[in-house]
Structure 1
Amino acid sequence: MINEPSAIQFGSGTRFPFFRSMRGKLILQFLAVSLIPLAIVGGVAITQLHATKAAANEVSDNYFPGIIHLKNAEIALLHIIEAQKNHIIAQDDVTMKRLETEIQHQRANLVKALAGFERTLYESTETEAFEIGRAVLNDFLQTNNQVILLSQTNDDEKAQSLSIGTANNRLENALGLMDNMRKSKVFGFKKAKSATAQAARTGITLTLIASLVFTVIVVMVAFLVANSIAKPVLIVTEAARKLTAGNVKSTDIGPPIEVYKFITRRDEIGEIGRAFDALTRYFQEVIADIVQVSQGLAASNLSVTPQCEYRGDFAQIKQAQEMALFNQQQMIEDIIHVFQGLAEGNLHVAPQTKYQGDFAQIKNALQTVLSDLREVCEDIVQISQEIENGNLYIMPQAEYRGDFIQIRNSLEMTAANLAEVMAKNADQDWLKTGKTQLNEQIRGEKNIVTLAKNIISFLTTYLNAQVGLFYRLKEPNHAEQGASLQMIASYAYTASENTPTEFLVGEGLVGQAALDKKAIYRTHRADECTYIIQSGLTKAAPRYVIIIPFLYENAVKGVIEIGFANALTDIQREFIERVMQDIGIVVNTAESRAKMQELLEQSQLQAEELQAQSEELQAQQEELQQTNKALQAQREELQYKQEALQHQNEELQTQSEELQTQQEELKQANEALEERTQDLV
């Protein structure tokens, strides 16, 4: 509470001079804070703008034009050399004159470009490089003149040689020097660009620093304004906030010295302080009395009474407070009783106190909450018990309202997710079990017929099918014949005379499935079915048939046909499609094993035949040797028949060489056969 101010009193409605009023002070301080920093920031910005402009002018007046002039000079050189080559191959004088005019025009462009480039030079090193380049260009132009003169005299060979040799070398030197000068300009351009960017960054940095200084000055001035003008308003606002919040312990609105300065000011703020001081005194007395009454009631002191003088409409506060505290005390006790029962898990607790007026809604709400909680808890218990017993399709039965709908949705989602997960797990277990059992059936070295019987028997029984057929791809014996599919195993199948057991590829559904390399699912009508499953008592016909090929490395190895009484499920189709690859691999392995055994037997038989042929040839060779010896003896005795015998001897010699050649070929064939036998083994 503000202590008694000094005897200085001010009447309400006092008017103050402009420079002493709060409005005048704010205007003067704003002008002082804004104009000076703005002038500083403007000076810094103008200085850096001049620096940036100078760097940009250097780029636009020196480096960039120099690069353009060099580019124009290169273009003129290329046009000159092109016209020179065309002049050499020109066929008439008109074309030569036109090309000579073009050369003169491009020389003028070259001189103009070099003159423009020379104006952009400002360093001695650049000037020296330019003079060297100019000298090389002059040499090139002289050589060009010589080429043109030779071409004019129709000495094209010398002109062509000079153009390809000396002129071309001097052109390359000139272009190389011009490229170096362009790189120098590009480097200077990048350097000037970097300087421009640096100047811009410096300007931004200085501007930011000046702005920061400006901000610091503004903050300092704002702090002074807050101390001189805004602080009293904050003091009043804080005091009003405390009173509004019911903080009766904080009776002062500020330090005594600050408050004294506040209420003794000779401006509008002082008027506000003095008016608020009087208001605070009365409200603090009323609030203090209300506090002591409330504290007495809180301490179970029902005899507590107001001590302050309540004037005017404030007298109603006393009466309303006494009545409200009494009624609220009874209701609070009853509500606590209900909540304590809920905390103990007693859902059958009920309100006992009489609730009057609008407070009757509290009683109704409590009763409704208790009833809903009992229904929800009973429903949750029932659902949990059903899920525990394995009933995953139980649904909530109670009525869930408001936020309790989330509980119902969560229960329904949990039950549905559990059912879905259990179904997926069961399907996956069924797939894995089927693949494992099938692998056990096809494990080991079995012939193709036994393997096919095991496969079709397992698939038919595991899929709860009625009948199954196993077709194996049979390669043709002749090129004119086509591959066919031969039934080599079946399950619960009763064949008839009219039912084929072999199909060509592309013939019937079996052959079509092999040709397309895709499964065929077929549903037969009752009149299309044929009784192919018979027992001693019954006969049946499958309505649903799947015909699916099994492949190895995209090559068909056979087809499996299975008949069902009921339509296939998705999991049954997935199982069949999954195991087809394994069946293709194992069938290919069995066929390869059978072919290897057959080739091994053939190789052994061929080896025995070759061995017999080798022994026979060896005997023939020995006989030939004996015959040669006899012929040699007869040659001495029958010298007069030498000419006739010589002819016969030559024939025998030729036959001997042929036999030796055949023996070597048989020996090589025997070695190749042995190597092939080893590879097959």
Structure 2
Amino acid sequence: MSIKAKLQLGFGFLGLLILCTALIGWLGMRKSDTNLHHIVYDTHAKLDLNTTLLNAVNTLSHDINTMVMLDDVELIKDTENHLLAAQLSYDHAWKTLNALPASEDEKALFEKIAAASLIAGNLHSRVTTLALANRDDEANAFIVKTATPWLAQWQEALNKNSEFQQARIAQNAEMTQSTTASFMVALAVCALALLVCGCLVFYTLINNMMSIIHHVKQTTQAIAQGDLSVKLDVTTDDELGELLRPISVLQHILRSFTQDIQTLVDASQQGALTRRAEAGETVGEWKKIILGVNTILDEAVGPINAQAITLQKIADGDFGARITAEFNGEHNRIKNAINNVADIIEQSTQEIQRQNWIKTGLSELSERIRGDMSLADLTYQVVSYLAGYVNAQIGAMYLWNDAEKKLVLTGSYAYEFRKNLSQHFALGESVVGQVGLEKRFILLTNLPDDYARITSSIGQVLPRNILVLPILHEGELKGVLELGSLDTFSQQSLDLLHLAIESIGMAIIVAEAVTRTQTLLENSQQLAQRLQIQQDELQKTNEELEQQARVLQESEQRLQKQHEELQQTNEELEE
């Protein structure tokens, strides 16, 4: 039989004893309560009411004797009212007393009291009538002969009722004491039996529990020493089986936990840092331990992953990638080192990009202005390319005219010619002339409203920044470049423009030479054309002269022939 069954049997027996004890106590308490009810609610109530009746009778007797002694009618009437009040108090108490349950003996006493009260209750009316009529002698005689005996009989009946009620109280008190004594004896016996049975039950329980505890102690000691292979008999249905089943679960959890830890160690040795222990089947603190181990791995792997991701981004060309997560200790030191390296790489890359951007701009500009071209074509190519490359929305280029001693607008980009804007500037005149005079660049911001605007098909806007640079060649002023932008000119744009000035100056020299060559070529061609025309005219004249010569020769031949004929004729005539 299991401890549970034994406990149920023992405690069932103890419960039966307790039930019997409670039943005996309930019966005793019920009987005591009944006696107490008779004592308190019946007997004492009857005794109190009897006392009220007796007091009322004594008041009637006293007031009747007093009324005879009074001569004042008002006092007699007051005494009569007092008698009526006492009579009302008596009637109320008597009515209440009759309403309570009564024994046969009490009913016999109540009949005597009722008979006495019926006769003596009308005595005060007779005495009052005689007193109001000043018939004191007759009233005294009535009191002595009639009223006093009946009042005494009335009082005697009430006194007997009081004695009876007091006897009842004593009897009920004795019965209550007897019942209480019996109840205490029965309660003591039941308590002793309950104590003995309880000791037996607890002895049996402790004996079985000590046996179970000894077995569990041996099992838990083996598990505590690391022997997780100990066999546990969890097939029994008694308390031992119920106690060993949780230990078996604990053994299984420890075995799984050990296997998970070994798996994590093997995975770490193989570099599989994403492997985690499964905490799905565990509960309570065991689950917290497994989750804690996983958290330790996450705390170690998290910084490594963040570092790997950032380094991969840098390797892929994202030089702005940084480790932004907050770490502690050595992880934070490694994070700062990687971020510092990324800063250096980003700065170096930006500088390389800046140099490449400048080199590309200079190379493309040189490609644009290479070859033989006029100054107009050169200035357009320069201002249009540089405006687009440095993100300027408007531009103009002025060349120095040595003959006029002025800077003349030669090429422009998105520039709107207006009547109020001059296209020729002497040295020192306006910003363009001042740059040409000082031979250094000027950067303008907060331009006035009447400045040249950037115009499109949908509107006009005032540039926010104007950059004016002198174009020099070996220190000699060759022109001025003016660019306007809605944005601020970057430093690399300024560096590009300063480096491009020399190439532009050389290109202007070449273009001027080309222009002079083209001018000389055009002049030579024009001269050749004029010479060809003159030669054609001379040839035509020669041909005309030759024709005239042939005509003269023919005329001369004709004249010669005529001369010969004439000479022959003359000879003939002479003959």
TM-score for both structures, normalised by structure 1: 0.34
Larger radius of gyration: 2
TM-score for both structures, normalised by structure 2: 0.40
Task: Considering Cα pairs closer than 8 Å and 6+ residues apart, tell me whether 1 or 2 has the greater RCO.
Answer: 2
